A and B are shown apart, each in its own frame.
Chain A
Amino acid sequence: MLETWGLSKSYGQTRALIDLDLRVGPGEILGFLGPNGAGKSTTVKILAGLIPADYGRASIAGFDIAADSIEAKRRMGYVPETPKLYESLTADAFLDIIGALHHLDSETSRNRRGELLELFDLAASRHTRLREFSKGMRQKVVIIAALLHRPDVLILDEPFDGIDANTTLVLKSLLLQLASQGKAILFSSHVLEVVERICTRVCIIHQGRKLIEGTADEIRGAYRVPSLDEAFARLTGLREPSAISADILAALERT
Chain B
Amino acid sequence: MTLLRDSGVDYRQWKALVRAHALTDYSALLGRDGPAAARRAAVRLLFTFVVGGVMSYKAAEAVWLAPDVFFAASVMTALTMFIVAILGLSTVVSLVGPDDFAIVGFRPVSSQTYFAARVTALLLGTIEVAVPIGWLPVAALTLRDGGSPAVAAAATVAIAVSSCAVTFALAAVFGLLMRSVSPKKLTRAILSAQTLGFIALFSAYWMPFVDRRAELASIVSVTMSSTSAVLLFPGTWFGSYVALAAGHTSWVTWQAAALSLVAVGVPAWGIIGPLSARYTVALGEHSSESTPGRSISLTRFARFRAERRAMLILLASQARANLNVQAGLLTSALMVVVMGGVFFVQNPDSAAFVLLFGPLNLREALQRSPEHEAAWPFFTTPCSRALAVTTARDALAVFLLGPLLLLFMIVHLAAGSGARSFAHIAAAGLASYLTLQVAVLTNPALPFSMPMIGAKTRIFVNVGAMFAGGIVVFAMQVAFSSRVGIVLVVLGSVLAAFALDKATYWRLRQLERRRA
Task: Count chain B CB atoms within 10 A of each CB in A12, A87, A97, A103 and give the residue with the most.
Answer: A97
A101, B99: Cβ atoms closer than 8 Å: no
Closest CB-CB distance, B329 to chain A, in whole Å?
Answer: 28
B281 at the interface (CB under 8 A from A): yes
Minimal Cβ-Cβ distance residue in A for B32: A88
B104, A101: Cβ atoms closer than 8 Å: yes
Interface residues on A, range: 35 or more
Note all chain A residues with C-beta closer than 8 A to B27.
Answer: 88
Note all chain B residues with C-beta closer than 8 A to A86.
Answer: 20, 23-24, 100, 103
Closest CB-CB distance, A75 to chain B, in whole Å?
Answer: 9
Interface readout for B250-293 with A: 1 if CB under 8 Å, 0 if not?
A: 00000000000000000000000000000001001101111010
Task: Give the CA-CA distance A94 to B100 in the complex, in Å.
Answer: 12
The number of chain B residues with a CB under 8 A from chain A is: 30
Task: Give the CA-CA distance A98 to B284 in the complex, in Å.
Answer: 20
A52, B285: Cβ atoms closer than 8 Å: yes
A222 at the interface (CB under 8 A from B): no
A window 1-22: CB within 8 A of B: 9, 11-14
B105 at the interface (CB under 8 A from A): yes
Neighbour of B288 across the interface among A11, A76, A78, A97, CB < 8 A: A11
B514 at the interface (CB under 8 A from A): no
Neighbour of B290 across the interface among A12, A52, A87, A98, CB < 8 A: A12
A-B contacts, CB under 8 A, total: 87
B290, A89: Cβ atoms closer than 8 Å: no
A239 at the interface (CB under 8 A from B): no
Which of B11-19, B138-146, B212-220, B315-323 lies on the face that meets chain A? B11-19
Task: Give the CA-CA distance A13 to B110 in the complex, in Å.
Answer: 31
A49, B103: Cβ atoms closer than 8 Å: no
Minimal Cβ-Cβ distance residue in B for A65: B106
Closest CB-CB distance, A12 to chain B, in whole Å?
Answer: 3
Note all chain B residues with C-beta closer than 8 A to A100.
Answer: 12-13, 15-16
Interface readout for B101-119 with A: 1 if CB under 8 Å, 0 if not?
A: 1111111111000000000
By a beta-carbon cutoff of 8 Å, the part of chain B in contact with chain A is: 12-13, 15-17, 19-20, 23-24, 27, 99-110, 281, 284-285, 287-290, 292
By a beta-carbon cutoff of 8 Å, the part of chain A in contact with chain B is: 9, 11-14, 42, 45, 48-52, 69-71, 73-74, 76, 78, 80, 83-89, 93-94, 96-98, 100-103
A-B contacts, 13 listed (Cβ < 8 Å): A11-B289, A50-B106, A51-B285, A70-B109, A73-B106, A73-B108, A78-B106, A84-B100, A84-B103, A86-B24, A89-B23, A102-B107, A103-B108
